[in-house]
Each structure stands twice: as structure tokens, then as C-alpha cells.
Amino acid sequence: MKNSPADQGAKTDPKWRLIRQDDAEAGKPTFPELFFDLVFVFALIQLSHTLAKDFGSTALLEAALLILALWWLWIQITWLTNLLNTEAGLVRLFLFSMMFTGVLLAIALPKAFQEQSLIFAVIYSGMQIMRSLFALYVFKGVDHENSLTFARMALWLGISSIFWIAGGLSDTLIWQIGFWAVAIGIEYLGPVTKYYFPGLKTGKDERLHLSGEHLAERCALFVIICLGETILTTGRTATDYMNSSLTFVVFCSAFASTVLMWWIYFHHGQEKVSEKAEETAEPEKIAQNLFNYGHLPIVAGIILTAVGEDFSLSHSHEHSTLREAMAIVGGPILFLAGNIGVKIASSHIRPVSHFVGIAVLAVLLLLQGMPLYALQISAVSVLLLVAVWEYLALRKSAPSAA
């Protein structure tokens, strides 16, 4: 579905060409969108390096906030480009400006909880508010319902930015984490409440006219970006520690985990997600469940897995503690949990293999003292079990489904 302005006369407005048209190939990401995604390759590499270098007592909280922020920034800009004509010059300039500020955000990311906290907060808040104001400019006078949505969205982001800035100005880490947790909570709550704001009523038929196929394709490409970042991180670490046959075995195991995660996500689930998002009568509601929230644990799981692989390659013989296990085993748990949610929402199929995989990984998570290389290989073995089990189950059910 595409944008359909309430007033047919709005099509005479020059801004109408900034909106994606009915005859556009909505399911196919454009080159400007793919170019924009390159920024997040850099941001994810920065994030993985930061977590692998300093995975301290508050690291899980810090990691959660940074992952939530990066994902929310990307998915919200993706929702906007879903509505816009990315071939239009002004829209391209908007994306390029987001790219530039995104690079600055990624540069500040490693010190986001240290001396560059205020810089990170200002850049992040600025990108979110600029996105909403640009959307408001595009739809103002062209699509009244969408302009109402983005007006309220800008107000919500203005409130969350207060907490981002307050966290950036905080002298203590615990206050910074607290303020930023409130800020990101406000942003994630916004879509659930349709950005309700006192005094600003929602339109009677107000909704974003989305292309579910386009969103599914964009999220699939972001998963590819995360998996690619995992390979880059693993390859970089292996280069520094490839001094024994054991390191080579761990490297092969780490590479296999990336391939298996690709298979588990793309072999069956992604296609069903695309079909569900495109065919549903409630595209906005389904898209929020499948993409805004459903893909978050998948992305977070891949990022944590990359951190865990860094640990297992750089300290193969060391014995695991809860710190390392949360990355090596916690990453695959999050990934499988996210796939369960997405697959149930898109096809109403409960993948038993994924539930069993999570149960086995949970047992590994509780086992302390295993050598890191053994824990890494065990986690990958569970992913292999899940992938083979699901493949055989789907193959067995295919004839009856036909």
C-alpha cells in the first residue's frame, strides 16, 4: 500500500513527487537506501569492538541501550523511506545528511558512556528529530493524516531528547544509564500508543500507508549487514590469534555459526514475513510486530554472538564465566527467540526446534568453567541441531501442505 492523500488536489503540490508513487517498485530497496545502510556497517563494527574490549559489570546494560538506540534509529528511518521517493533529489540529500551524522554517531559510540556521552546524545536526538521534521515538511499540505502522525512523533522525540541530553550531562554512570533507559523507553512506547499527545487528536482514518514487502526486504538486508559484520569481526580477531590449530578450529566454528544463523532466518522465515507483511489487512500493526519489535532480538543476538566469537578466538583456553557465556551462548538464545516470535507472527507455526535449542543453550549458560573454545563449539552445535531439525520438519510437512 502507498500513500494516498486525503485531498486529491494535493497531487498538484511540488512536494508530491517526494512521496513514493503507486507504480513504484515498493518491494525493492533503492541504491540511496543501500548506500545509507553502509553507515550502520561502521556503527555495528564500532559496537562489537567496544563490547569485546570492555565487557564489564554494567556492559550488558550499556550494550542493551546502544543496540536499542542503533536499531530504533535505523528502523525508523527505514519506515520513513518506505513512504518516500528515494530517487527525488531532496530525499537523497536528506539521506546523505543522515549518513554524515550517522558516521559522527558511530565515531562517538565507543566512548558513549564516557567522555563523549553528551556528543552521542546530541547527535542521536538530532537525527531522530530531524527525521520527523523532514517527514512533517514532506506531508504537510499533501497528506493530512500522515502529517498529524509525524507532528506528534516529533513532540514525543522532543521529550525523549530531554532525557538523552540529561544522561549525557550526568556525572555518574548509573544516572546516565537511568536517563537513557527512560529516553529509549519513551521512543519504543510511541508506536504502541500511536504517539498520543494531549490536545492533538488523531485523524479518523489516520495510519501510515506502508509497503510491507519493502519493509521485509529492508529488514532482511539489515540482518545481512549484521551477519556480514560478524564475519568482519571474526576475521579481524582470527588474524591476530591464528597461531595454533585450535584457533583455526574455533574460527571455523565461528564462521559456521554465521552461516547457520543465515540459514535459520532466510531458509523459511524471511519469505513468510514478506508475504504476511504484504497481504495483511492491517499493514501498520503487523509491520510494527514483525519489524519494529520482532527483529530486535534477532539483530541483538547476532551482535552478541559476534562479541562471543571474539572472546572465544582471543582467549580460547580460558575458562568461561557468566560474562563470556552471556555473549557466546546468550547471543544465539536471543537470535532463536527472535526467530520464534517472527515465525509465529508470520506463519502461526511454532518451531519446536527453536524451543529445544533455547533450552539446551540455557543449560550451557548455567555451566561455569568450560573452556571458551568448548563453549563456542557447543553453541554452534546447538544451532546446527536447530537448522537440521527445522529443515527436516519443513521437508516432511511440505507434501501434506501441498
In tens, the pLDDT along 365-394 reads 888 788 999 999 999 999 999 999 998 988
In this structure, of 201-215, 228-242, 355-369, 380-394, the range with the lowest mean pLDDT score is 201-215
Contact between 295 and 223 (Cβ < 8 Å): yes
Cβ partners under 8 Å of residue 316, min gap 6: 241, 244, 246, 247, 250, 371, 372, 373
pLDDT value at 2 more than 50:
no
- At residue 6, the pLDDT reads 44
Please, which pLDDT band fits residue 10 given cuts at 50, 70 and 90? low
Contact between 302 and 331 (Cβ < 8 Å): yes
DSSP per-residue string spanning 21-64: PTTS-TTS--HHHHHHHHHHHHHHHHHHHHHHH---TTHHHHHH
pLDDT value at 281 more than 70:
no
More confident residue, 217 or 358: 358
Please, which pLDDT band fits residue 363 given cuts at 50, 70 and 90? very high
pTM: 0.85
Q: Which sign, positive or negative, has the C-alpha torsion 219, 224, 227, 232?
A: negative
Provide the CA 235 distance to its chain's centre, in angstroms: 22
Q: Which sign, positive or negative, has the C-alpha torsion 253, 258, 259, 263?
A: positive
pLDDT value at 12 more than 80:
no
β-sheet bridge partners, residue 200: 197
- At residue 160, the pLDDT reads 96
- At residue 158, the pLDDT reads 94
In this structure, of 7-16, 139-148, 320-329, the range with the lowest mean pLDDT score is 7-16
- At residue 284, the pLDDT reads 63
Contact between 219 and 250 (Cβ < 8 Å): no
Q: Calculate the average pLDDT of the chain.
A: 85
Rounded mean pLDDT of 347-373? 90
Q: Nine-digit cell at 374?
A: 568448548
- At residue 399, the pLDDT reads 55
Alpha-carbon distance 323 to 115, whole Å?
25
pLDDT tens column, 81-125: 888 888 888 999 999 999 999 999 999 999 999 899 999 999 999
% the chain with pLDDT above 90: 43
Rounded mean pLDDT of 11-27? 67
Alpha-carbon distance 384 to 380, whole Å?
6
Please, which pLDDT band fits residue 16 given cuts at 50, 70 and 90? confident
Rounded mean pLDDT of 36-64? 83
Contact between 173 and 61 (Cβ < 8 Å): no
